[in-house]
Amino acid sequence: MADGPAAQPAFSLAIDAMGGDSAPEVVLDGLELAAERHPNARFLLVGDESRVGAGLARRRRAARICSVRHAPEAIPGDMKPTVALRIRGSSLRIAIDAVASGEASGIVSAGNTGALMALSKIVLKTLPEVDRPALAAIGPSARGDVVMLDLGANVQCDARNLVEFAVMGDAFARAVLGLTAPSIGLLNVGSEELKGDDRVRAAAETLRDSHLGPNFRGFIEGHDITAGTVDVVVTDGFTGNVALKTGEGALKLMRDLLRQVFTSSVPARLGYLLARPALDRLREWMDPRRYNGAILIGLRGVVVKSHGGTDAVGFAHAVDVAMDMVTHGFNAKIRDGMARIAAAAPSTAPPVPAP
């Protein structure tokens, strides 16, 4: 089949077959699952041709929708992004190149996060309307799934960046969660208007006056994330990264303690067996694999990072997220939102700090 550049991308996604703790096996198993859900997609699978080709030969469904492209090298998980940038023959680089050339609409990789972010920014470049890309992900809350960004792409942000994140988070929630009017909250240390620093107050003011105003719920606090107070949680990359990992850590602590509880005595074991169907539903609902796939948004192309240690089910979820974004014209939504924020004029200029 043709895999040269084309007006309509030949491939839905380019897949870094060599990224992740158990690549390429887990990637291939994940694609076998993804092939069931996206039978009409076409994936460009980039990696060591002999290993990937042999693996694909054993997976009939994945083989039907995947083409293999050879990459002589792979980027280790612990390589510094600055070093990774120089390796032109890596599976990651060749996959990103396929997005840059228009062959594929997006890329999914379970490999080195820093390398993926750095290479995507440099090779794909940001959308013309966007100042800085952001890392977003979906997580569970008491009232359904919640989008949070930035999760670490930008450790220092100004008010303008926060406003951009809100526009991108809005587009993301529409495309991936299928919401028509996602509510948006700005993470702060209190919900009163005077709380926080100049940066969050200036961003809140811009958002209130923007086309997102009707859906902007103002400031929210840390506990609002899992309470599901809003659909989109906007924050700087430092706070977002810490909040995400703190929340995950708290849930892990609770899971570990529950495991201890249910193995602590014979009656407790029996109790576990009786409650097991309900506990299994809870576990399934909270399953981190269901939330696998962080998205670097604001670039010319869809870029999804799968967790490096996930299994086939998790990798397939990351592919789902990327496919949702490709299918729903995600970047068109962002560009539209950015144009509307820009049209609302002076408020997009870097806001003057409050006195």
Structure tokens at 42: 């076409």
Q: What span, in angstroms and rounded, lies between the C-alpha atoms of 198 and 349? A: 15
Q: Please state the closest distance from residue 25 (CB atom) to its own copies, in A.
A: 27
* Smallest separation, CB 146 to its own copies (Å): 11
Toward its own copies, which CB reaches closer, 209 or 262?
A: 262
CB 144 within 8 A of CB 163: no
Q: Least distance to its own copies from the beta carbon of 259, Å?
A: 11
224/320 with CB nearer its own copies: 224
Residue 226 CB, shortest distance to its own copies, in Å, is: 4
For its own copies, the closer CB: 36 or 192: 192
CB of 279 to its own copies, least distance (A): 6
Which residue lies nearer to its own copies by CB, 258 or 344?
A: 258
Q: Per DSSP, what are the bridge partners of residue 139?
A: 146
SS3 102: coil
| Sign, Cα dihedral of 194, 196, 200, 202 | positive
Task: Answer whether 71's CB lies under 8 Å from 91's CB.
Answer: yes
Q: Which H/E stretch holds residue 105?
A: strand 104-109
For the chain, the residue count is: 355
Cα–Cα separations (whole angstroms), residue 197 to 26, 166, 193: 44, 18, 11
Helix (H, G, I), strand (E, B) or coil at 349: coil
With respect to its own copies, which residue has the nearer C-beta, 25 or 284? 284
By the criterion CB under 8 A, which residues form the site for its own copies?
140-142, 152, 155-156, 187-190, 196-197, 221-227, 235, 237-239, 241-254, 256-258, 260-262, 264-265, 267-268, 270-279, 281-282, 285-286
Nearest approach, Cβ of 271 to its own copies (angstroms)?
A: 3
Whichever of 51 and 217 has its CB closer to its own copies, that residue is 217
Cα(163)–Cα(161) distance, integer angstroms: 5
